[in-house]
Amino acid sequence: MFEPNSTIGWTISRLKMTTYDLSMYLRAPKLQVGRLQMPGQATDLIWLFAVNCIIVATIAVILVPIMLAFGVSMSSDMSDLFQRPVWQLLLIVVIIGPIVEELMFRSWLSGSPRLLIPFSGLILWMALTYSYEQLVWPGPASMGTAPLLALIAGAVLIGVTALWKRPVPDWYARIFPLVFWSQALLFGSVHIFNYAGDNPVALLPFVLPQIVGGLIWGYARIRYGWWANIAMHMAYNLIATSGLVYILLTRPDVL
């Protein structure tokens, strides 16, 4: 159908190759210790982002009409966010949001102890403060959240200093496929709160784009390094925000 040297044929070939590499990785995720810097990575990342956009666009073609037909609307927090001035919206959604989310969900994904320890400290602090606020557990209540945070931060600093050059633990490499898929599913699931509704299960299909993002950005994190997933997340949010702004202008009842 296409000439071997034609631009269209070459483009389709690159997209197919990128999609194949991604699909093979997702079938059996594995760490690539010592191979994060790869030749041509910036160009490859552009093709990976193109695949990301094509997959999400295909999902959106199905989900957006369903969303409109069943009156699925954005949560009040999301609606309030889109009432902000454009520069604030872009700052929060395109810059701050991706950086924070990638630090939480994928910065540690490579399994380096100096990254796993801060992530574990963050999870511990969130769990203890939640137990203090919601479950009235007396531990954090008696200590106060500020001393608790200082204690955890000190432990994290000692751990990072002691294990700075340690290799990826064997146990982490063994469970990495489970970790990889779990981070993507969890990342997608928390975006349920972007939508209004009393039945979270019914809203799960609408976070498929975020689950896809979690998988592809996780792949980028492992293959190309920490900057790649952040850059892709920022670019994706820029495009998605533009689409939501368009919906806001044409169908304000949706938001």
Q: What ranges in 38-144 are assigned the alpha helix state H?
A: 41-69, 76-81, 86-90, 97-105, 113-134, 138-143
CB 28 within 8 A of CB 222: no
d(CA 121, CA 127): 10
255 band by pLDDT with thresholds 50, 70 and 90: low
Residue 48's nearest CA partner among 56, 36, 58 is: 56
19 band by pLDDT with thresholds 50, 70 and 90: very high
Mean pLDDT along residues 174-195: 94
For residues 115 and 133, which has the higher predicted lDDT (pLDDT)?
A: 115
Residue 216's nearest CA partner among 196, 202, 236, 198 is: 236
| Per-residue pLDDT at 25 exceeds 50 | yes
| Per-residue pLDDT at 144 exceeds 60 | no
Mean pLDDT of the chain, nearest integer:
82
| Phi then psi dihedrals of residue 61, to 5 deg | -60, -30
* C-beta atoms surrounding 100 within 10 Å: 11
| Phi then psi dihedrals of residue 39, to 5 deg | -65, 140
Please report the sign of the dihedral spanned by the C-alpha atoms of residue 104, residue 106, residue 108, residue 111: positive
Interval 210-233: pLDDT, tens: 999 999 999 999 999 888 999 999
CB 113 within 8 A of CB 163: yes
Mean pLDDT along residues 47-72: 91
CB 197 within 8 A of CB 78: no
Share of the chain above pLDDT 70, in %: 78
pLDDT of residue 203: 83
d(CA 95, CA 120): 24
d(CA 172, CA 126): 22
pLDDT of residue 37: 46
Q: Lowest-pLDDT range, 24-33, 67-76, 193-202?
A: 193-202
Residue 93's nearest CA partner among 227, 246, 211, 233 is: 233
Q: What is the pTM of this model?
A: 0.83
| Per-residue pLDDT at 196 exceeds 90 | no
Mean pLDDT along residues 41-68: 91
* C-beta atoms surrounding 10 within 10 Å: 13
| Per-residue pLDDT at 41 exceeds 80 | no
Interval 70-115: pLDDT, tens: 888 888 888 788 888 878 888 999 999 999 899 889 989 998 887 7
* C-beta atoms surrounding 67 within 10 Å: 19
d(CA 87, CA 80): 14
d(CA 53, CA 151): 43
